Each structure stands twice: as C-alpha cells, then as structure tokens.
Amino acid sequence: MWSPRSGRLSFGALGAVVLTVALILLGTILSPGDARAQDELIVTNFNGNSVTVYPRTASGNVTPIRTLTGVATGLNAPLGVAEDLVHGELFVANNFGLSVTVYPVTADGNVAPLRTLTGFAFGPVQVLVDVVHDELYVLGVSVLQVFPRTASGQPTPLRTLMGAFTGLAGASSMALDLVNDELVIVNSASNAVTVFARTASGNTAPLRTIQGVLTSLNFAKGLTLDLVNDEIFVTNQTSFTVTVYDRTQSGNLPPKRTLQGAATGLNFPIGLALDLVHDEIVVANFQGSVNVYPRASSGNQPPLRTIAGFATGLASPEFLALSTSAPLLAAVLPLSRSHQVGTFLTVFATIINAGPGPVQQCLIAPPANAPAGLGPFVFQITNPRTNVAVGRPDTPANIAAGGQQTFAFGFTPIAVIPETSLTMNFLCENTVPAQGIPGVNDLTLVTDSQPVPDTIALVATVSGDGVVRIPSATGRQVFVIGTANVGSTGTITVSADTDGQALPITVTVCETNAAGNCLTAPAASTTVQYMAGTTRSFAFFAAANGSIPFSPGVNRVFARLRDPGGTTRGSTSAAVCTAPNAGC
C-alpha cells in the first residue's frame, strides 16, 4: 500500500483507469445549470455592517442576491471575509466587535452566527480558512493567531505570530500558499509584503520581504496570490494602484506591472480577489464600488465591469471572497474499501479542470459530515504514469485549463465504521467542489475491528472506455472485472445492480478462468471462497429490454462483492447505454 513515508503506491493500473473514467464524464455530467455552481462575489461593507453577495458577472447598479445584516448577525465594522466551501461556512472579521463570526455560506438577512470567536485583544482585520490542516487564521494589525477551524467562544490559539522581528506593522490582509507552504501578509504601516513559513509562530522573522521606495507600495492594503503565474497582487490605497510582483521577489525592487490611472476607476482600493478561471482580478474600492479587470492589466486600463450605485448596498466595501465554477470533474478508484481499524487504506483519484482557465491549490478533503472514527486523512499528488507519490503530503496542485491531476488519498480509521458512502470534496481555491456522483467519485467505506476481505475491483468494457455499449434496445453486451483480495479470506457473493436507478436491463455474472471462459453458467449472482492475497475475474452479461440513453453520470451498472451479511467488500461501476442513442 501507499504511505506518505514510502511515497509508493500499489495497483499501478488504477491511475490510468481513474483518469479514463473522469475523461468519459467530461461534458456529460456538469452543465451551466448545475445546482452547485455558485459563481458569486461576496463583499464586506465596513460602514454598512453588512455582507453583500452578487453574481460573479454582476455589473452596474445591481441589487445583491443576498444581504447579511441586522443586530442578530453580530456584524460590527466587518473587514475580512473567507469562504469555506467544504463545510459550507462564511467567516467574517469584525474589527470593532473584536470578534470573528461564522455563518452558513448562504446566510441572508438578520441571521445569527453559527458560532462566534471573541476575547481578542485586538481588532481582527482579516480571516483565512485552511481546510487541509483544519485551521482558522485571524490577523490583527501586529499579530496573527491560528485556531482550530471549528473554534468558538474564547479559544486558546494553536500558535501566535507576534513581535518586532516579524515585521508586522499595520497588517491588513493575508494569503495562504499551500503549494509552497508559505503565508504572505501585507502591511500598510510599513508598506511591506512579508512572507513566512506557514507554521511560523512567536517572534519569527520573515523568510523574505518586499519593501522600499522602488516597490511603489503605498499604504498597501489588499493582497492575493497567483500561484499559476507566480505573482503577488497588492492594492495601494493612497496611490490608487494595484502593483504586481514575482512571488519570490524580495527587497527593494520595482513591480512587474502597475494598474494606475483615471480610467481604471480605482478609488481607495482595498480588497482583492483572483479569478483564474476567467482570467480576472476583482478590486473593492472603499469609496463605494467593485471593479473587475483582466488579470494581466497594467497602465491606465479601464475595468471590464463595475458594481456601483445605491441599489448595490455597497457601503465602504473592504474585502472580497469569490466562488466560481471551473467546472471540476473527479473520479476515484477503487470505489470501495473494507478495512481493519488502525491500518492505513489508500484510494486513487483524478481531478479534471474542464474550465476555460487554470485553477490553483487543488486538493481533496473528507466530507463535512465524515463519520466518527475516520481517523487521520492525507492526500498527495501522484505521477499519473506510475502512481508514485511525488512532493509533500497534503500539498495542493495547480491544474491548467483542460488539464488533470492524479492524487492518492487515505485514512487510518480509529474506530469501527458501518458501511457508509463518503462524498469526498474535490476542489480548488475559489472554486465550487466537483459534483458528487455515485459510482464515480463517492467512496464506500466499512471498517472492522478484525481482519476482513477487501477486494479491489477494476472494470473493463469491450469499447475500452468504461462504457457498456449495448448494440440495441434488445441487445446484449459483456463487461468484465478483475479483482484482488488484499484483505483476509472470506466468502464473497458477486452480483450487479443499477444502484436503484430503474433501467431496462438484466445482468448475470459468472466467474472466469485465465482464458476468459465461464466456470459456471451465468446467473444473477455467484459465490466464491475468496482467499487472501489471490485474484479472481468475473464476466457480466448485460441484456437490454428497452432504450438506455448515454448519461454516464446517471445510467450506470455496479458490480458488487459482498460478504454473507450483505456488507460490501468491493465494488466498481461502468456507464451503460444502448445504441443508437447519441454518444452510445
């Protein structure tokens, strides 16, 4: 099995198969009408004690689609804002309220927080959520404190960054770089960008600092990172500019480019957000507007669009959060793991970026409602040709437009977990997670206190693309699965179903020999004594008695391997359709 320590993975064929499954889904599952697609821009309004939300493409004097405001919200001079799309939460830093309030991400109106962090000795100016390490960053003008993501009340920080050596002076915004394991903070009082190790604490000096007359930093307030193009964007409130630097730049060097001039509409710019998918940057102007520019803008470039006017509800807008739909697609293999408590289990995955632009900091996270006992989680980038893990564990990846990245992820369960379906989160920075699809990217997991059978199953179809293409509405087609029992010996019954989807199809199965011939006549199921450390193959015969459209995200046939008690000890799936339906 794979472990972060050894950096090795077993079942090398899985990487290619999981990528094939994901590619088949490309363009057939997600659509512009996907209910998960948010494409939203979130703005904090300092003088309005509100958070307003707009469609990403909003322009002009538009009414917000949601407004979080009112006494019950606890908003008090809100500044920083962060969106956690894994857990569906919105975090707001309240500068005068000395608090951080947390809401459902779709909160609207006079809604009370889910929880509140209080007791700060400083006015919070910015917040940041790290879903990989399950941490919450809270920034003050001269201090950074880090808490557990779910902290509430008056918690003790996990670590604090503070002191003369840190260079924190009028700190106003920050960005987390999980790819390079760094934290970047902009300081308005010292006109400096300071870069630290992600886990820096105490009175620690920065790894590097951008500072000096040549940098053109001028009451620097907002910050965002572009890890695809290796750039840092900074808003300068006094000079009405956006300056851009190389990510690794240090010292007193000029910016790579500067957005500046009357045509830009910049007016005390503060908040910044990056939309790599659509190649745009978004700037909040304290004087009451939000401007959107091409990402690579420089000089006196007018905005592509502007949100401004009485109807917008903007009232001294400060900081921004953005969610966009790439869209992302994801697939996992194997589809199930059956494991003993205390042992590490591995799953392979592929994330595809089907959007028009690149995405950054792509990662895998457990579901928000993960069962108790799931234990420590880890993910790691893999080489798609060898399935060998590369880089550091828990390090996200950048994915080009139309590109893909393979991963391995795993758990070490600490308690017995009854059979459950885990809808994993596959997401990138500022993107909505990939849609959960049974038989494609959900994981069936069961753990036991004793050794149990754990059969890894791979499907192969005649067309070689993971689709059972039946030649007609009354035709027949075969598909096969290869399996390996990496668990203990046990009795296993093999069968097929359509996961509750009413499809006009009957599937029978037989075990096959090395030549691919049935050992017994095909039947609704077949039962074997599956020895530990051995392999077996099975053939399935799909007979249609009606038309089945090509819809691989919906119409699928599942091969299940179950023990005598009906617990799943292995599974895989393939799309199914009948000709002459389009795509089949």
Same domain (yes/no): 129, 260 = yes
Number of domains in the chain: 3
| Residue 444 resides in a domain | no
The secondary element (H helix, E strand) that includes residue 18 is helix 13-25
Same domain (yes/no): 522, 404 = no
Joined together, the tokens standing for residue 309 give 């006017």
Same domain (yes/no): 191, 280 = yes
| Residue 223 resides in a domain | yes
* Per-residue model confidence (pLDDT) at position 35: 37
| Residue 297 resides in a domain | yes
Separation of CA 34 from chain center: 17
The secondary element (H helix, E strand) that includes residue 234 is strand 231-236
* Per-residue model confidence (pLDDT) at position 355: 87
Residue 172 neighbours by CB under 8 Å, 6+ apart = 125, 126, 139, 141, 186, 187, 188, 220, 221, 222, 270
Cα 52-54-55 angle, rounded to 5 deg: 165
Same domain (yes/no): 496, 354 = no
| Residue 266 resides in a domain | yes
Same domain (yes/no): 521, 547 = yes
Rounded Cα distance, 98 and 123, in Å: 5
| Residue 546 resides in a domain | yes
Same domain (yes/no): 425, 464 = no
Domain boundary at 439, 465, 495, which? 439
The amino acid occupying position 371 is P
Same domain (yes/no): 195, 57 = yes
| Residue 446 resides in a domain | no
* Per-residue model confidence (pLDDT) at position 2: 26
Whether omega for the bond prior to residue 522 falls within 30 degrees of 0, making it cis, is no
Residue 6 neighbours by CB under 8 Å, 6+ apart = none
Contact between 47 and 316 under an 8 Å Cβ cutoff? The reply is yes
> Do strands 345-353 and 257-260 pair parallel, antiparallel, or not at all (unpaired)?
unpaired
Same domain (yes/no): 99, 159 = yes
Same domain (yes/no): 176, 267 = yes
The secondary element (H helix, E strand) that includes residue 485 is strand 476-485
Domain boundary at 418, 439, 460, which? 439
Count CB-CB contacts under 10 A for residue 48. 19
Eight-class DSSP state of 567:
-
State the CATH number of the domain containing residue 376.
2.60.40
Q: Which of 77, 82, 78 is nearest to 174 (CA)?
A: 82
Q: State the residue range of the domain holding 379.
A: 1-35+326-439
Q: Which of 564, 439, 402, 555 is nearest to 493 (CA)?
A: 564
Walk along the chain (584 residues) and give the pLDDT tens digit of each residue.
Answer: 222 222 222 333 444 444 444 444 443 444 333 334 379 999 999 999 999 999 999 999 999 999 999 999 999 999 999 999 999 999 999 999 999 999 999 999 999 999 999 999 999 999 999 999 999 999 999 999 999 999 999 999 999 999 999 999 999 999 999 999 999 999 999 999 999 999 999 999 999 999 999 999 999 999 999 999 999 999 999 999 999 999 999 999 999 999 999 999 999 999 999 999 999 999 999 999 999 999 999 999 999 999 999 999 999 999 999 999 878 989 898 999 999 999 999 999 999 998 899 999 999 999 988 998 999 999 999 998 888 899 999 999 999 998 999 999 999 999 999 999 999 999 999 998 998 888 889 999 999 999 999 999 989 999 988 899 999 999 999 999 999 999 999 999 999 999 999 999 999 999 999 899 999 999 999 999 999 999 999 999 999 999 999 998 899 999 999 999 999 999 999 999 999 999 99
Same domain (yes/no): 169, 84 = yes
* Per-residue model confidence (pLDDT) at position 369: 87
* Per-residue model confidence (pLDDT) at position 26: 42
Rounded Cα distance, 247 and 196, in Å: 13
Joined together, the tokens standing for residue 254 give 């000029």
Contact between 570 and 561 under an 8 Å Cβ cutoff? The reply is yes
Q: Which of 103, 95, 65 is nearest to 78 (CA)?
A: 95
End-to-end distance of the chain based on CA atoms, in angstroms?
37
Query: Which pTM does this prediction carry?
Result: 0.91
| Residue 373 resides in a domain | yes
Whether omega for the bond prior to residue 580 falls within 30 degrees of 0, making it cis, is yes
State the CATH number of the domain containing residue 232.
2.130.10.10
Residue 35 neighbours by CB under 8 Å, 6+ apart = none
| Residue 434 resides in a domain | yes
Domain boundary at 255, 290, 323, which? 323
Contact between 284 and 320 under an 8 Å Cβ cutoff? The reply is yes
Separation of CA 305 from chain center: 28
- Find where tokens 């689609």 sit: 65
State the CATH number of the domain containing residue 584.
2.60.40.10
Same domain (yes/no): 399, 508 = no
Same domain (yes/no): 138, 155 = yes
DSSP track, 169-230: SSEEEEEEETTTTEEEEEETTTTEEEEEETT--BSPPPSEEEESGGGT--SEEEEEEETTTT
